[in-house]
Amino acid sequence: MAPNSVVVTIEKPDSSALKVNGLDSSVFLEKQKAVSTKQFTWVLLLKVNRIFACLSWLPMAFRAMFVSLRKRIALSDMSDEEPKSRGRLYKFIKAFLGLSIVALVIEVIAHFKNWNLNLIQPWEVQGLVQWSYMTWSAFRVDYIAPVAIILSKFCIVLFLIQSLDRLVLCLGCFWIKYKKIKPTVAADAYDIEDPSTFPMVLLQIPMCNEREVYEQAIESACQMDWPRDRLLIQILDDSDDRNLQLLIKDEVSTWNQKGVNIIYRHRLIRTGYKAGNLKSAMGCDYVKDYEFVAIFDADFQPNPDFLKLTIPHFKGNPELGLVQARWSFVNKDENLLTRLQNINLCFHFEVEQQVNGVFLNFFGFNGTAGVWRIKALEESGGWLERTTVEDMDIAVRAHLNGWKFIFLNDVRVLCELPESYETYKKQQHRWHSGPMQLFRLCLPAILTSKISMWKKSNLIFLFFLLRKLILPFYSFTLFCIILPLTMFLPEAELPLWVICYIPIFMSFLNILPSPKSFPFLVPYLLFENTMSVTKFNAMVSGLFQLGSSYEWVVTKKTGRSSESDLLALAERESLSSNEEKILRRNSESGLELLSKLKEQEVAPIPKKKKKNGIYRKELALAFLLLTASARSFLSAHGVHFYFLLFQGLSFLAVGLDLIGEQMG
């Protein structure tokens, strides 16, 4: 049976105890209430103390952040940014920013003085500021607002069309997953026990001053699981560093002595960048003996079974011209910049490339990690040096000649992502200016080609216009120009579904192929809008053939390897004996000695310490958006204010080079 009394002990300063009979004792309730009130008071005081401590820490934190930003600006190399940043677009943004600041000052004065245009008569105007406010209000209603409304509606239509295209691509990807559609290989493609049935394959590695990655690139190619007498590896070196040339020759000679069929080529006249390098290599007499060519950039590390997973797709499929593999990234978790790039490229491969490959048999060649039928290259005109996107150029010309493409989503090749914003920005400039160059050059050929009208429409309206021109145009114009402008034009205010609901939904679709990136949904949305200024500038320069559209900057590499690569390397090293290492060193001694002599002749050049850059266009847009957010705050716009605020802060972080690799 349960006891009929309860003993409650309440600790007090005198350590006394109180015995209470019965569960409903009023004394017990009063004492418990008194103690609870005292405890609540102490907890409340503790929380208040913590709040004051936090408030006292905030000024110090803001001061430290301000000092850090001031040092960053003082130590940054403003010459790193191209002079184009001071061109027409930059001047336009600065002028827009100046007008916005003036308008904001007038709006602030009008807000605190409660001026209302509808209630003020002309003879009641007091002072120049009030007259300026009335003049500005009348001018914007009559002249600026109608133009802004028309432009915003036009951009919204483009935005909806592009969003619909992306939604259709995602539905196509879901259908592929649901039906488990995959490219198939003939059962009797090649006889594994008879190497003579394997086709002749040429493997090319174009490189230019790739000191950090040349060794791992050559090693990955030389370990390819393919009959050695059916494979030739070409190292196509465009380096202008004599010492680096000797190092690459040394590495090639080492693998050549191990029985690998590998040769080193260096051009005396370096024209046409990568396209010129590949074109020169394909002009060799011995190329006619080979049926396929596999191409890898210097930072790509294919698995040994790459050729056995790709080449069999050509067997029994004479119309197949290209087999493209997917990229995988060893440094996708290095920093925020690489994580955001991984989201974009996962969507590109998983959705865009796979859907276009399954339903259209066409997509843009990625320039690496692909295998071409040499006959398709020759019939399509070979490599041309007319654009900075030679890979897309040859893909379009091959498509116009009737060749089909296959994308293998399950075959992945390791590579690197740019880790600094400077490198990423230059890469994106080339990737978005080149397609506009190519569109101008290919449009007559597309219109006069013999392919179906559907394929012509797909090339012109979807492949080029919608995904290469319209996307950067509306993204920059709508979210970086029109949206801040509408904060000063209440008549042209954008609806919430344009600036919030649809962009978040589209970003959600983009992240689906990389589900681990869901925590970065909002940073991804903000960063994509931030990159729109670079993409828009590149698109315009490519479309109108400006000087910057012909620039080719080799993407900097770090030579990173994944954990699995390091384990595999350790395993391979453990299997090799010390005698083999000694023999290898002896075989390399001549070239090593020559390399040392060359290094002694040339005085060592001290490495220049890298500095963070200052990007003027991004900073100008940051202040423009923050100015618009202040105007939005006065009008209590809500979502508009938060979007402009965080978008302005993201532009500020990028403009001060606070994203990606921190160089100090």
Return the active site residues. 238, 391
From the number of C-beta atoms within 10 Å of its C-beta (0-12, 13-18, 19+), residue 615 rates as buried
DSSP 225: S
- What six digits make up the tokens of 564? 């699995």
Side-by-side strand order, sheet with 370-373:
262-266, 231-237, 201-207, 292-295, 370-373, 320-329, 404-415
Cβ neighbors of 240 (< 8 A, separation 6 or more) are 209, 270
Determine the length of the chain: 664
- What six digits make up the tokens of 211? 């000191």
Cα angle for residues 405, 341, 517 (degrees, 5° grid): 105
Q: What's the CA gap between 259 and 303, in Å, rounded?
A: 19
Cβ atoms within 10 Å of 530's Cβ, excluding its own: 27
Contacts within 8 Å (CB) and 24+ apart, 179-182: 181/358, 182/409, 182/410
Q: What's the CA gap between 445 and 456, in Å, rounded?
A: 10
Cβ neighbors of 413 (< 8 A, separation 6 or more) are 296, 300, 301, 302, 303, 306, 325, 326, 327, 328, 368, 369
Q: What's the CA gap between 248 and 48, in Å, rounded?
A: 67
Q: What's the CA gap between 321 and 399, in Å, rounded?
A: 9
Contacts within 8 Å (CB) and 24+ apart, 2-11: 10/35
Parallel, antiparallel, or unpaired: how do β-strands 201-207 and 292-295 relate? parallel
Q: Are 64 and 599 in contact (CB under 8 A)?
A: no
From the number of C-beta atoms within 10 Å of its C-beta (0-12, 13-18, 19+), residue 165 rates as middle
Q: What's the CA gap between 337 and 528, in Å, rounded?
A: 11
Residue 283 φ/ψ region, left for φ over 0, alpha for ψ in the -120 to 50 degree band, beta for the rest? alpha
Instruction: Determine the straight-line distance between the first and last CA of the chain, rounded to whole angstroms.
Output: 75
Q: What's the CA gap between 470 and 4, in Å, rounded?
A: 82
Residue 367 φ/ψ region, left for φ over 0, alpha for ψ in the -120 to 50 degree band, beta for the rest? left
